[in-house]
Amino acid sequence: MKLRSTESLWPLKHAMDTSYPSIDSDIDTEILIIGGGITGALIAYRLINEGKKIVLADRRDICNGSTAASTALLQYEIDVALHELINLRGAECAVDSYRNGKKAIFDLRKIIDDIKSDCQFEFKKSIYFCSLKKDIPFLKSEFSARKEHGFDINWLEKWDLEKIGLNAIAAIESKTAAVMDPYRLAQDLFLYCEKKGVKIFDRTNIISTEKQKEKMIARTQNKYTITANHIIHCSGYESTETLKEKVVDLKSTYVIASENIPELPAAFKNCIFWDTSKPYLYFRSTADNRVIMGGGDENFKDPVKRDKLLPRKEQFLLHKFQKKFPKINFKTDYSWAGTFGETKDGLPYFGKPNPDVNEHYVLGFGGNGITFSVMAMNSILHSIKNKPHKDLEYYRFGR
């Protein structure tokens, strides 16, 4: 599956400063992780610090799938609003998911400090705004639900938003959000994990997995085998190639990044923004004073059709930005498209689809992929040891 078009910001910025070998012999290991993006890196980090013997493999260059296309808005808010999620999954699951997302942002900061990553992590406020009067009741319902369950938020009126240069009617301001460079963090995690003993391979296409007695066997396109006690799939949207259950609807999404804007207002730099439209638009700044904006999702995954729309989507997103932030001079420097997916409840999938097979999945679908992956670190050992964990029940397959 082609997950993104070619010109996203992060790989061009870092110019592939690290590379890894491909597999050229049969290998035995305790755990095989399939997927060399931010999710695989975080799971490898957790397991290597638990003393596990790990092999990690990716079919392309490390970090060059969805991680390279991520805009890395780190929020505890989920694509499904809290008051809607309560109706879908019940108050316990919904509120815990929001609270655990908030905790994940702080946990991620601890990991960054531990490995001393220069991934430009910055805490921000989150502004969830509406531009149409018809969306105000929805936004007020969401505000009430979050207040009821103890989230630290404020209600902003039109004049409050005008002070930060945003042309909108009303908004919920959350105190906890962040941004970072996801490509840099993933690369730094892999360097850390390799030094701790993880064997990392890229350009290694695993074409099949199967259970043989008490072991799992993975076979590569070049006819090598990896024998493991457990296989953990961290391959994101490409996991649809191996899963029997349909768990995600794949779509196409689009992103533009501006040139450096020296006069970028401090009020913009201190926040991330997203709106109540469906599909929603989102906006953030970078450490070097660029603006990244995304949205314009389409309900198909065909990469040829997706990439053909990119010039039109560039203009669409630029027009939307100018309407929302008329005082910021956005000049497009980069644009890219990627595969995106949504689950029916906006929540991830963790654990084993088949309880009798030691094949685990960590699938952080939706706009919270990175925070979901941090959350998965708390339950991955329970999945391996076949022990119960609340998250393995919340985010189980077949739910």
Q: What is the pLDDT of residues 120-150, one digit of tens each?
A: 999 999 999 999 999 999 999 999 999 999 9
pLDDT score for 11: 60
Work out how many domains the chain is built from and give that number: 2
User: Would you say residue 88 lies in a domain?
Assistant: no
Do 49 and 192 belong together in one domain? yes
Q: Which of 380, 375, 378 is nearest to 102 (CA)?
A: 375
pLDDT score for 16: 55
Do 265 and 170 belong together in one domain? yes
User: Would you say residue 333 lies in a domain?
Assistant: yes
Asked if residue 279 has a cis previous peptide bond (ω within 30° of 0), the answer is: yes
Residue 244 one-letter amino acid: K
| In the predicted structure, residue 299 carries a pLDDT above the cut 70 | yes
Looking at residue 268, the DSSP 8-state letter turns out to be H
User: Would you say residue 91 lies in a domain?
Assistant: no
| In the predicted structure, residue 18 carries a pLDDT above the cut 90 | no
Beta bridge partners of 258: 332
User: Would you say residue 101 lies in a domain?
Assistant: no
Q: How confident is the model at residue 3 (pLDDT cuts 50, 70, 90)?
A: very low
Do 306 and 361 belong together in one domain? no
Do 377 and 327 belong together in one domain? no
* CA distances from residue 62 to 22, 239, 336 in whole angstroms, order as listed: 11, 17, 19
End-to-end CA distance of the chain: 26
pLDDT score for 31: 98
Do 264 and 146 belong together in one domain? yes
| In the predicted structure, residue 17 carries a pLDDT above the cut 80 | no
Q: Which of 28, 46, 8, 59 is nearest to 235 (CA)?
A: 59
Question: Among residues 342, 364, 383, which one ends one of the domains?
Answer: 342
* CA distances from residue 165 to 23, 90, 160, 168 in whole angstroms, order as listed: 52, 37, 9, 9
| In the predicted structure, residue 184 carries a pLDDT above the cut 90 | yes
Tell me the CATH number at 271: 3.30.9.10
Do 42 and 52 belong together in one domain? yes
Q: Counting Cβ atoms within 10 Å, is residue 17 exposed (0-12), middle (13-18) or buried (19+)? A: exposed
| Over residues 13-40, mean pLDDT | 89
Q: Taking all residues of the chain, what is their mean pLDDT, rounded to a whole number?
A: 94
| Over residues 61-89, mean pLDDT | 94
| In the predicted structure, residue 95 carries a pLDDT above the cut 70 | yes
User: Would you say residue 353 lies in a domain?
Assistant: yes
Do 50 and 189 belong together in one domain? yes
User: Would you say residue 83 lies in a domain?
Assistant: no
Token reading at 53 = 């013997």
**Residue range of the domain that includes 32:** 9-69+183-246+346-394
User: Would you say residue 96 lies in a domain?
Assistant: no
Do 272 and 335 belong together in one domain? yes
**Three-state SS at 245:** coil
| Over residues 75-79, mean pLDDT | 96
DSSP β-ladder status, 54-57 and 199-201: parallel
Do 290 and 333 belong together in one domain? yes
pLDDT score for 2: 55
Q: Which of 98, 96, 52 is nearest to 76 (CA)?
A: 98
Do 292 and 231 belong together in one domain? no
| Over residues 189-206, mean pLDDT | 97
* CA distances from residue 203 to 7, 64, 65, 352 in whole angstroms, order as listed: 20, 11, 12, 26
Tell me the CATH number at 43: 3.50.50.60
| In the predicted structure, residue 10 carries a pLDDT above the cut 60 | no
Triad 111, 113, 119: Cα angle to 5°: 85
Q: What is the largest CA-CA distance in the chain?
A: 66
User: Would you say residue 390 lies in a domain?
Assistant: yes
Give percent above pLDDT 70 in the chain: 96
pLDDT score for 361: 98
Question: Among residues 342, 361, 386, which one ends one of the domains?
Answer: 342
Rounded Cα–Cα distance for residues 384 and 398 (Å): 19
| In the predicted structure, residue 91 carries a pLDDT above the cut 80 | yes
Q: How confident is the model at residue 68 (pLDDT cuts 50, 70, 90)?
A: confident
pLDDT tens track for 209-238: 999 999 999 999 999 999 999 999 999 988
| Over residues 299-310, mean pLDDT | 92
Question: Among residues 325, 342, 359, which one ends one of the domains?
Answer: 342
pLDDT tens track for 229-262: 999 999 998 898 899 999 999 999 999 999 999 9
DSSP β-ladder status, 225-233 and 359-363: parallel
Do 294 and 338 belong together in one domain? yes
pLDDT score for 92: 98
Do 227 and 138 belong together in one domain? no
